[in-house]
Amino acid sequence: MTAHWLLQMGWAETYVLDHAPAAGELTTEAEPRYPAGFVLPTPASIESAGLAAQLSSTLVIDLDTSLRYRDGHVPGAWFAVRAGLARSIPEMLKQQPGATRIALVSPDGEIAALAASEASEAAGGLPVAVLEGGMKAWRAAGLALEAGHTRMADPPTDVWYRPYDFKQDVEAAMRQYLDWEVDLVAQVERDGDARFSVMKSSA
């Protein structure tokens, strides 16, 4: 089915692997998160309890998806997309002038660690630390959570919101999705650059 759609989208060199792998060719291990030899940076870190005690003077930046940010984040934290930190950190600091440090938060702390050097460049001299263990550690410590799109340095367009992901007007979101789906063929026709040809079955 995937190959069928790719062919309709113009990817002529599409193949389906005709091979039944032997047991020795398969693995049940998780696929590696990073290339071989990559070492995760080890920036300064702060434990959950320490961050909780310093929230009033800390600019907390949540680098998770906007959907998970909405469902629960460190109280007072901002949602931001990593790619835009050079722009968004100065803007956040203007709106939180009392901040004396920056704390980066991500699900397990790894994305935050990767973004720490970028944040430091945009921090205007403020120290930057990563929440040790990320939101997993914060939740495990039983600390308070805040919900909603409360402080958005970037719009919530980083992930696709399914109709039932919305908290309000779910029926309207469902109808909007159905309208979009029904109009797909017409959208392709209106888009002069779209490459899509309907393949008829030979059966």
Mean pLDDT of the chain: 90
Query: Domain range holding 127?
Result: 45-140
pTM attached to this predicted model: 0.77
pLDDT single digits (tens) 47-103:
999 999 999 999 999 999 999 999 999 999 999 999 999 999 999 999 999 999 999
* 21 within domain boundaries: no
What pLDDT is attached to residue 202? 61
Check whether residue 97 and residue 167 sit in a common domain: no
* 3 within domain boundaries: no
Task: Please say if the pLDDT value at position 186 is more than 70.
Answer: yes
Distance of CA 138 to the CA centre of its chain: 18
Check whether residue 134 and residue 51 sit in a common domain: yes
* 86 within domain boundaries: yes
* 24 within domain boundaries: no
Check whether residue 135 and residue 179 sit in a common domain: no
pLDDT single digits (tens) 20-43:
888 888 888 888 888 889 999 999
Can you name the residues that pair with 46 across neighbouring β-strands? 131
Check whether residue 132 and residue 164 sit in a common domain: no
Give the length of the chain.
Answer: 203
Task: Please say if the pLDDT value at position 157 is more than 60.
Answer: yes
Check whether residue 104 and residue 51 sit in a common domain: yes
How many structural domains is the chain composed of?
A: 2
Q: Are residues 136 and 107 in contact, defined by beta-carbon separation less than 8 angstroms?
A: yes
* 146 within domain boundaries: no
* 192 within domain boundaries: no
Task: Please say if the pLDDT value at position 203 is more than 60.
Answer: no
CA distances from 34 to 37, 38, 104, 132, 148 (A): 8, 6, 20, 20, 32
Give CA–CA dist 167/148, Å, rounded.
10
Return the ∠ at Cα 152 (arms to 151 and 158), rounded to 5°: 145
Give CA–CA dist 7/198, Å, rounded.
9
- Domain CATH number, residue 59: 3.40.250.10
